[in-house]
Amino acid sequence: MAGKYVLETDHPMRRVFIGKVVVNIGVGESGERLAKAAKLLEELTGQKPSLRKAKRSVKDFGIRKGENIAAMVTLRGEKAIDFLKRAFAAVDNKISERSIDKHGNFAFGVREHILLPGVKYDPEVGIYGFDVIVAMERPGYRVARRRRKKSRVPNRHRVTKEETIEFLEKVLGVEVIRGRR
């Protein structure tokens, strides 16, 4: 839990914060393009990406089951906050309300990685778009992840869509666009 990036409430167990940020580049093929995308993802996030495999074969796209087709990174803590700020700057600090699910998690895409502040175009790498997925949490979510005495987080303790909207607007200063665009 990163210090000042918490939506404070009347009860300490009802606070809302960012659990993790997942950054994903889906290339759709293995080989040189995927290697470049993985290298780019490492430069953008400062962490080594893991490669993701195709779940099934798609003959039309030339994808075989088990072939590496994407790269992803999971960020937590200060690294997550720093990257998320840069990613929001790339999309003009705006997000659609439709991008937020009923449990308060949200996702958005960045069309070109060169839109991130401080990133220069490199003709050797090319241009890649990526997806940013953010999981919102409260204190106590560890009970669902721990190894021993694992338990379910009840719906009354989950983050709601309204709380995530409040977090984005008050804590991160992101404008949430309501309705259709």
CA atoms within 13 A on the CB side of 95: 29
Strands 16-26 and 6-7: antiparallel
Domain boundaries, the chain: 6-177
Interacting residues of 155 by C-beta distance below 8 A, sequence separation 6+? none
Neighbours of 111 (CB within 10 A): 12
Q: With contact defined as beta carbons under 8 Å apart, do 40 and 125 qualify?
A: yes
Query: What is the Cα–Cα distance from 14 to 174, expressed in whole angstroms?
Result: 21
Q: pTM for this one?
A: 0.89
Q: For 52-70, what is the mean pLDDT?
A: 88
pLDDT in tens, 102-113: 999 999 999 999
Torsional class of 16: left (φ above 0), alpha (ψ -120 to 50), beta (otherwise): beta
The predicted structure's pLDDT at residue 122 = 87
Secondary structure class of 95 (helix, strand, coil): strand
- The pair of three-digit structure tokens given for residue 62, joined into one six-digit string: 């030339």
pLDDT in tens, 29-50: 888 999 999 999 999 999 999 9
Residue 181 pLDDT > 70: no
CATH of segment(s) 6-177: 3.30.1440.10
pLDDT in tens, 83-137: 999 999 999 999 999 999 999 999 999 999 999 998 898 888 889 999 999 999 9
